[in-house]
Amino acid sequence: MHQTSSLALLLHLNARERELAARLFEENRALDAQLESEWQQHLDRLKADMEVFLSLVVEMSSTTDAVAACEASVALARRLGIPSEDILDTPEKARAYFMD
């Protein structure tokens, strides 16, 4: 009797292990799909930001108007998610940064 129950337990554990392995595989597949989607979203955002960056760089480099160049620089910083307190968007902030 003891040997039969041990065999049944062994078979049950093998079935349980197969069930766990299948669940792990499915969870990994789902996680891979989620990460792939998130990666693609980040890549798309990076491409969009790069297009904005390049257009603003071209705009800044082709203008002799310092105010327009500064405005483009501030717009780029905001677009890239630079914290507001780190953006030199006023004459006072620029003066404090470069003169203090």
Give 10-residue mean pLDDT values along the chain (100 residues).
61 77 90 98 92 79 76 84 91 88
pLDDT for position 33 = 97
For residue 47, the model assigns a pLDDT of 94
Q: In whole angstroms, what is the distance from residue 70 CA to residue 63 CA? A: 11
Q: Report pTM.
A: 0.49
Domain boundaries, the chain: 2-99
Q: Exposure of 33 by Cβ count < 10 A (0-12 exposed, 13-18 middle, 19+ buried)?
A: exposed
- Separation of alpha carbons 78 and 46, rounded Å: 14
pLDDT at 3: 57
Q: Cβ distance 94 to 88 under 8 Å?
A: yes
Please tell me the predicted confidence (pLDDT) of residue 10.
62
